[in-house]
Amino acid sequence: MLTKTTFKRLALCSVLSGLLSVSSLAHAAKEIKAAFNQSDKHPQYLALKELGDKLAQQTEGRYKLNIFPNELLGDQRAALELVQNGAVQMAVVANPLAENYDKTFTVIGLPYIYSGPAHQEKVFTSGVLDPLFASTSRFGFTVLTAYTAGARSMYTKAGPVNTPADMKGKKIRVMQSDTMLKMLTCMGGTGVPMSQSEVYTAIQQGVLDGAENNEITYADLKQYEVAPYFSATRHLMVPDLVVVSTDFLESMSKQDQETLRKLAKESTLTEFRLWAEQIEQAKKVAEEKGAKFNEVNIQPFQENCKGLQTELVKTPEQKALYEKVVALQ
């Protein structure tokens, strides 16, 4: 038989249990969903994961970053739209997608604007891009930082590219951007906008003659299986942008916002280091599977694309940013 004392103890345990449940709910971490279009081995994924681990630690568990790789939440265009409407809190998207909202972004993705990785890293971490990154908040997303995506080069199915003449008649996949389409034209080929997830099959079936990207993506997605000729045109060093929902960002306390912004900038340095480490490894993997890498005299391509730079840098804002970027070389 239960005594009065036993009943009191049971009642107390019940109350304590309820209080603990309420306390746990009150301190439950807010999930930050991040859309990512590459694999979980990619340098950008690893840098973003480290950012998430530090954010959880430095906010005492108030936030938990969950990254969804391999386009599980859609391609980059879809991911950016999800960020804008708040369905997803973060994403990594290519710079040309931001150009669709603010043409000033065109400057940091111009052909041959960076002298190399060190120059690009300096630009991304110098603070000169902060006003540009803040300007997109009116569109529902804010750029926290930029990651390198390496130097983009051509890879093709039938043979190597050495001169602009080799590009004639070639249908090459590009990101969904007017700038990228014009870029392919000045290089001698024809750009075909397409989602990254469709590229392998499109080359395999002859819809495309090739694509253009960096060595890591080329190896990571096994595109050497359908396009074994990788020609180092190094025509672009297009940034990838870490974007966050403006509504979500503004829902954070000022302190947590500052923590997220600081960690995002620090993650850029991490990502550049990881990228450099993986480049040679990626080339080795692809070569072992039959890929053939060839160096290219880029001067003819540079000459052909000078007019594109002049065409794209039009507004006072673009010209001012262009001068700041070039000055950091």
Domains of the chain: 30-149+238-284 (3.40.190.170), 152-237+286-327 (3.40.190.170)
Q: 254-288 and 43-58 helices cross at what angle (nearest 10)?
A: 150
- Residue 256 has φ and ψ, to the nearest 5°, of -70, -35
Average predicted confidence (pLDDT) for the chain: 91
By DSSP bridging, strand 210-213 and strand 229-236 are unpaired
- Residue 295 has φ and ψ, to the nearest 5°, of -75, 150
Q: Does residue 187 contact residue 233 with C-beta atoms inside 8 Å?
A: yes
DSSP single-letter state for residue 153:
E
pLDDT at 154: 98
Q: 299-312 and 178-187 helices cross at what angle (nearest 10)?
A: 140
pLDDT at 27: 60
pTM exceeds 0.95 for this model: no
Sign of CA dihedral 47, 48, 51, 57: negative
pLDDT tops 90 at residue 66: yes
The DSSP result for 156-200, as a single string, is: ESSS---SGGGGTT-EEEE-S-HHHHHHHHHHTSEEEE--GGGHH
User: What mean pLDDT do residues 227-242 have?
Assistant: 95
